[in-house]
Chains A and B, each alone.
Chain A
């Protein structure tokens, strides 16, 4: 497993060159934006259960066949497995975002995931759709652009109340990790 710093070291070692100027600038940026990154990870972890259940609910609403007899989210046992897998994917994305590198996601989550799902008969398209919804809501939580939705009396709506700032780079980075999962599943 690598993070942003050890990734720089491994690539410099392959050239047997010390790390200077250009590479250090990127790492200095990681350091300077460190607090934003930690807030972003916190935005995901603090809302994890909301993000996961929302994604699985959305996936089922779009394809109600999943919870009818014979569907892949029927009965509760398989629905629970689905929620658990959503949480696992989100957890590895949060690790990758903390590390600033996708290697932990690749090595420990995506490696063999597609093959496992095919063997178990899990519909890849539905799984990818749930991840796409997690991507949308996670990036909204990081950017604090999440809204209460169409229900006027929504009581579970929550904003993180962190200091406002430009988080576009982190949002884009988090989005690439979700995209990585989606492309790994398709």
Chain B
């Protein structure tokens, strides 16, 4: 799993040297930003169910055709799976906020997603809408501090760009 610390250690190990001052400074920079990241992760985890519900509702209200027969949300079981997937992306974003990098999204969310959605004939536009709604709905200081929100939005944007 890629993070600042593992990247630094991998580079030091490849060169066969002890962690240098540069390495320690890189980790220190990461630690300084960590407070905002962890705040965003905590707030997102606490509100995960609510955020998922709002995002999913926004998605189905923008694309009501999804609930017609033969579409991705034609029955309740399939609708539930849509909400589950949104919760899945938000959970991965929670992980990214903890690690401080896009590793979890890359490895467990984005890798292979295009192929899976094409096979299952699912529209990625619906996921983009759900995540975009979440991004625009979140606001500071109601939900979290501005710096934390900034971190959260950067990962939401990353997921949106990957699915667009």
Measured CB to CB, the residues of A under 8 A from B are: 1-6, 8-10, 12-13, 16-21, 24, 27-28, 31, 34-35, 38, 41-42, 44-45, 48, 90-91, 94-95, 98-100, 104, 108
Is B18 a contact partner of A19 (Cβ separation < 8 A)? no
Shortest B6–chain A CB gap in Å is 5
Give the residue of A1, A28, A42, A44 whose beta carbon is less than 8 angstroms from that of B38. Answer: A28
Contact in complex: A6, B45 (CB < 8 Å)? no
Chain A residue nearest in CB terms to B2: A6
Provide a sorted-by-A list of 26 A–B residue pairs whose CB atoms are within 8 angstroms. Answer: A1-B6, A1-B9, A2-B6, A3-B9, A4-B5, A5-B100, A6-B2, A6-B6, A6-B99, A6-B103, A18-B44, A18-B90, A19-B45, A20-B42, A27-B34, A28-B35, A34-B34, A48-B18, A95-B13, A98-B9, A98-B19, A98-B23, A99-B5, A99-B6, A104-B13, A108-B13
Interface residues of B in 3-26 (CB under 8 A from A): 3, 5-6, 8-10, 12-13, 16-21, 23-24
A12 touching B95, Cβ below 8 Å: yes
Task: Note all chain B residues with C-beta closer than 8 A to A2.
Answer: 1, 6
**Bound CA span A35–B30, Å:** 12
Residue from A6, A17, A94, A99 with most neighbouring chain B CB atoms (10 Å) = A6
Contacts of B104 in A (CB 8 A): 9, 13
| Residue in A closest to B9 when the chains form the complex, CB atoms | A95
Describe B's contact surface by its main secondary structure. helix
Q: How large is the interface on B (under 10, 10 to 19, 20 to 34, 35 or more residues)?
A: 35 or more
Cβ contact within 8 Å between A5 and B18? no
Residue of A nearest to B30 (CB): A34
CA distance A34 to B42 in the complex (A): 20
Instruction: Give chain A residues whose Cβ lies under 8 Å from the Cβ of B44.
Output: 18
**Nearest CB in chain B: distance from A35 CB, A:** 7
Q: Are B99 and A5 in contact (CB under 8 A)?
A: yes
Which residues of chain B are near A24, meaning CB under 8 Å?
38, 41-42, 45, 98
User: 7 closest Cβ contacts across the A-B interface?
Assistant: A20-B45, A6-B1, A34-B31, A45-B18, A18-B45, A3-B5, A18-B94
Most chain-A CB neighbours within 10 Å: which of B6, B28, B100, B108?
A: B6
Q: For the complex, give the distance between the alpha carbons of A6 and B2 in Å.
A: 8
Contact B1 A19 (CB under 8 A): no
Asked if B24 and A42 make an inter-chain contact with CB atoms under 8 angstroms apart, the answer reads: yes
Nearest B residue to A90, CB-CB:
B18
Report yes or no: A3 in contact with B6, Cβ–Cβ below 8 A.
yes
Report Cα–Cα, A34/B33, bound state, in Å: 12
A45–B19 CB distance below 8 A:
yes
B163 at the interface (CB under 8 A from A): no
Q: How many Å lie between the Cα of A108 and that of B13 in the bound state?
A: 9
Q: What residues of A have a CB within 8 angstroms of the CB of B31 in the complex?
A: 31, 34-35
The CA of A91 and the CA of B14, in the complex, are separated in Å by: 12
- B137 → chain A closest CB, angstroms: 18
**Which chain A residues lie closer than 8 Å to B1 at the CB level?**
1-2, 6, 9-10
- Tell whether A13 pairs with B108 under 8 Å between CB atoms, given A3-B5, A95-B9: yes
Instruction: List chain B residues, Cβ under 8 A from A48.
Output: 18
Question: Is B28 in contact with A19, judged by CB distance below 8 angstroms?
Answer: no
Near A by CB (< 8 A), chain B positions 77-111 give 88, 90-91, 94-95, 98-100, 103-104, 108
Enumerate chain A residues within 8 angstroms of B20, measured Cβ to Cβ: 45
